Chains A and B, each alone.
Chain A
Amino acid sequence: MAKVFIYPATSLILSDMVARFGHNPLSSATAIRERVQTAGLESPPLQITPEEPKKGLKWAAVEVPAGVRGRMSLYGPMIEACEAAIIINDADLAFGCMGCARTNELIKFLVHQKPIPRLELNYPKNEEEGVKFVAAIKRFLAELGGAK
């Protein structure tokens, strides 16, 4: 059972596909859950404390805005832990402020730098593309081996 990083990290479709075909999806929900269920200082809504941008220094330089570093404290450990990655390139839902945009660029860059199996896709726009989309994910995950 391989740890598969998914981008967008909140994607319902990718999260479901990876789990459905027997692997472990690394999504932002699990990172947020860790913080929400850990005692500490109250920092709503996501329990991102001033400590997080410091942790993010591992992946982004000090002159990079704190918003990017704070987000990287969620995604950085997942990128380090992942054994494979599935990236959807036309995910407009991942848009947002400059913090989100720059973090998305950094996430894609770090995943591309890592020597792991990687599947690049676009969202399907019709039924035939849907078949190709699912078949590509199934083949990719089967090649990873060790499915549950």
Chain B
Amino acid sequence: MTDYTPAHVGTVTKYVVVESFDITPADLAIRGYEISQGAMIKETCFGLVVSGKEEDVDRIVRGLRLMDPDHIFVKDRGFPPGDSRRCRANLGGARPGYNGLEFEMTVIPFVSHGLEELKKRDAATIPPPENPLEYTSLDITRLKNLMEAQES
């Protein structure tokens, strides 16, 4: 084993993912470059990777979110942009971890709709979602309907 000397120590990296009818990753990148001031910005197919000092990254993310608050999503990333251990330019194929992001991109439109609706409706008036741990018995009416559908 050899010694490991880390690069970009003390920096923070964040993904800025856009799923919007109005904003493209290119629009986001242009706005990101305008307000970057010292942070590293990489444009990707799903949005941006922003890396730099924590206060710079937070400021850029706040600025980018204003473009379309309900359709821009942000999460932390462990590796800096272009890191040879993760970047698909070196590895080939999809970046490890992209499968999860790809799946959540299919759910994000529903979440964006939820965020938009919550601006018009009070969260307290919206019924809770079903508890996935709660066992629900088969409703007798539904059972009857299933039997009738089988018989017909």
Contact = CB atoms under 8 A, between A and B. Distances in A.
Contacts of B110: 124-127, 129-130, 133
B125 to A, nearest CB: 9
What's the interface size class on A, roughly?
35 or more
A38 B123 contact: no
Contacts of A132: 114, 126-129
A37 B7 CA distance: 7
B129 A29 contact: no
B21 interface: no
A12 B75 contact: yes
Contacts of B131: 120
Given A11-B104, A13-B111, A41-B1, A29 B75 contact: yes
Contacts of A37: 6, 8-11
Nearest to B134: A120
B88 interface: no
Contact of B129 (A30, A93, A121): A121
10 contacts: A10-B100, A16-B73, A39-B5, A45-B85, A45-B86, A93-B99, A123-B107, A130-B110, A134-B115, A139-B124
Given A42-B4, A135-B114, 12 more contacts: A11-B75, A12-B17, A12-B101, A16-B73, A17-B111, A33-B76, A37-B11, A40-B3, A41-B1, A121-B129, A125-B110, A130-B114
